[in-house]
Amino acid sequence: MIGASERTLSRLFHMELSMSFRRWRITLRIHHALAHLTDGMSVTETAVACCWSSPSSFIDAFTEVIGQTPGRYQADLRNGR
C-alpha cells in the first residue's frame, strides 16, 4: 500500500529510531499502559486494554522496558516515589 518493502521499513526504523518496529510497538504499548496504571487501572485490566495476550506477558514486557513490575510501579506511585 505504501510502496515500501518490509525490509526497507525495517531499515528505516533502525536508522531513524535505533530500534526495531517490534521494539517500538512494545514501547508504545508500555507508554499507554503507564497512563492506565497511573489512573489506577489494575494490572489485568491494563493488560487487556493494551492488547497483551495475557497479564503475565504484559508483566514481562513492562518489567523489561521499565525495570520494575507494574504492581511495583503502582505501589511506588501510591507511596510518592
What's the CA gap between 50 and 81, in Å, rounded?
A: 25
Pick from 28, 14, 70, 68: nearest CA to 46: 70
Pairwise pLDDT comparison (2 vs 8), residue with the higher score? 8
pLDDT of 66: 96
Model pLDDT, residue 40: 94
What are the tens digits of pLDDT across the range 23-48?
Answer: 988 999 999 999 999 999 999 999 99
Quote the mean pLDDT of the chain: 93
- How crowded is residue 75: how many other Cβ atoms within 10 Å of its Cβ? 12
Is the pLDDT at 1 greater than 90? The verdict is no
Identity of residue 10: S
| 5 phi and psi angles, rounded to 5 deg | -80, 165
The verdict on pTM exceeding 0.95 is: no
Q: Is 5 left (phi over 0), alpha (psi -120 to 50) or beta?
A: beta
